[in-house]
Amino acid sequence: MIFDVIKKRRSVFPAQYIDTPIAKEDIKKVLEAANCAPTHRKTEPWRFKVLQGEAKEKLGMFLSLKYMETDPSPKQFKAGKLIQNPKKAGAIIAICMQRDPKESVPEWEEVAATAMAVQNMWLCCTQLGIGCYWSSPGLIKHMDEFFHLNEGEKCLGFFYMGNYEGEIPEVERGSWEEKVTWM
């Protein structure tokens, strides 16, 4: 039941991943789920770039070097983590948004549609037993130096995916009732 999958959805981080690749067929299912997201005026603004193998390592090196270049007081620990996290992932999907050239809808709606596509990916991963999370480091503003981005396309972050073992603990959330005003 979909409600059970929604309640099980969790962030699973690279430190929790085991060193096994993600099957290409599973990545295709996740991307197909993303493509089913709602979109205003059918702009379908989501764009994805799948990184596996050596491409993940190149991303990690780029992020680490860019961090060292742009941070006035870089920390060695963070630079190392930027290199290691992509290596630990079974796959990384760069989350991009292509702005409608006609600007027929506000930009926030296209970002929201892309976020809904990512939620579909997350729910699909949960159903498939794949750990994942959305990382949006400040360094994404430099991704046009790493990827070929089309005019109007921007990177919104990275969707890390990895196989894991064991149970992911439940997250305590406040009551939904505290967040609702009935009128």
Is 136 annotated in a binding site? The answer is yes
User: Is 9 annotated as contributing to ligand binding?
Assistant: yes
Map out the domains of the chain with their CATH numbers.
13-162 (3.40.109.10)
Per-residue pLDDT tens over the stretch 22-34: 999 999 999 999 9
The pLDDT tens digits for 130-170 are 999 999 999 999 999 999 999 999 999 999 999 999 888 88
Question: How does pLDDT run across 43-68, given as a tens digit for each residue?
Answer: 999 999 999 999 999 999 999 999 99
Residue 121: per-residue pLDDT: 98
Which residues of 10-148 form beta strands (DSSP E)? Answer: 46-51, 91-98, 131-135
Q: Structure pTM?
A: 0.95
Cβ atoms of residues 120 and 36 within 8 Å: yes
Q: Is 99 annotated as a binding residue?
A: no
DSSP state of 22: P
Chain centre to alpha carbon of residue 67? 19
For residue 142, say whether it is annotated as part of any ligand binding site. Answer: no
* 122 annotated binding-site participant: no
11 annotated as a binding-site residue? yes
